[in-house]
Amino acid sequence: MAEDEYPYVAGVDTSTQSCKVVIVDPATGTVVRQGRAAHPGGTEVDPEAWWSAFLTAVGQAGGLADVHALAVGGQQHGMVCLDAAGRVIRPALLWNDTRSGGAARDLIAEHDDAGGTAWWVDATGSAPVASLTVTKLRWLAEHERDNAARIAAVALPHDWLSWRISGSTDIRDLWTDRSEASGTGYLAREGNKDPRRPEYRRDILASALYIRQSDAEKIILPRVAEPWEICSHGDPARGWAHVALGPGAGDNAASALGMNLTPGEAMLSLGTSGVVAAVSAHSVMDPTGAVTGFADASGNWLPMATTLNASRITDAMRNILGVSYEEYSNLALSVPDAGGLTLLPYFEGERTPNLPDATASMSGMTLSNSDPAHVARAGVEGLLTLMAGALAAVERVTGPIDRVSLLGGGAKLEAVRRLAPNMLHHRVEIAPDGEYVALGAARQAERAWQARA
């Protein structure tokens, strides 16, 4: 392949809300073209919608004719169940679908004699919460037995889209990476701890689905690729055979790559969810389960605390007040504090802390603080207090964090930027606008290309 004929790399971000494709010049890191297409709303989605959005975004980005490598960063944990022919059995349950909250509690309770949460953390690095794939499989086994019985393979959103880009219809060709596998709830912690030993816990998979371990052994789980591996090539039928496909990564691991995050640094992303993640040179374990012991996309680790509520807090409070984002921010900054008004911002349940059935509430209302300014201020403070708790949880297991990079749509609010340093109790830097997931995926694709045999 002539380098000058295919000078660029592509990075894909298949997120909850949309698919974004960036075409990058690896020599300079400059984005030369890009495209975007929306995903359907809701917490249950037909994966074909992701494929359609990818094709639209690629078209907007000018195609892949001059691209030599591509990788996909994607929303984590979603459950994509396939039958033996590679057909999707039912719409994917996304990470933010909380119907499996009861399943998460049951899975923990089943190991109470061995420590419950502590058993899970020791076994997999994380405790079951509604977001993790293992809990969604248990929900499926309990509520849709016929669909569960048809499972021949289980993939994650980024695995499935990468596989579709390759053109394969053979479920044995599925692959994933450590960051995604470590977020399923059934990758052995030993494999997470040692990147040379990725191994699935088939006993956990069997238990989740109420099947024998011998039957769980027959289910195809995506092969866990090395961090800088060429895993396949693009679909020849679409003229993509020249495009090498990297492992891809979970969205947060891809963001960490895109931001060049190093040990001692954390990113705090305010998107649909709120995420605090810090790169660690060593494996971490939080017996409480508040921090998930995920792997990153480079061979390190990415301990993470995730909230279900982040920018949606701002959206909910702004809608209550009937104001624009700028007006909401100005209202919040027009008073020195919330005047004793406190927002508990669990609008869609919560993950950190693990309260999937919780609801939001506002307390401390008086005649002096029951006005738009104090309500707006309480909304911003509620968001940042939630994220401060997540940041403190991560720092407990990683050691001191020297710098926090604030990013995501929620970080564009001036009130959030102004109040963050004091409320987070850390040095905060506002990350420049950028498609960090897609950029991280592009960076991975290029490094895999350079490392090829």
CA 210 to chain centre: 27
CA angle 247/257/5 to nearest 5° reads 60
Contacting residues for 88 by C-beta, under 8 A, at least 6 apart: 46, 47, 48, 80, 81, 82
- Alpha helices for 178-310 (secondary structure H): 178-181, 189-193, 202-209, 213-216, 251-258
Q: How far apart are CA 441 and CA 74, in angstroms?
A: 9
| Residue of 13, 177, 251, 286 marked active site | 251
Q: How far apart are CA 350 and CA 307, in angstroms?
A: 6
List the beta strands (DSSP E) in 197-338: 223-224, 232-233, 244-245, 249-250, 265-270, 274-278, 304-307
Q: How far apart are CA 412 and CA 344, in angstroms?
A: 22
Q: How far apart are CA 43 and CA 33, in angstroms?
A: 30
Nearest to 240 by CA among 165, 154, 346, 321: 165
List the beta strands (DSSP E) in 108-208: 153-155, 175-176
Q: How far apart are the first and last CA of the chain?
A: 14
Contacting residues for 291 by C-beta, under 8 A, at least 6 apart: 284, 303, 304, 305, 393, 394, 396, 397
**251 has catalytic annotation:** yes
Q: Tell me which residues are annotated as active site.
A: 251
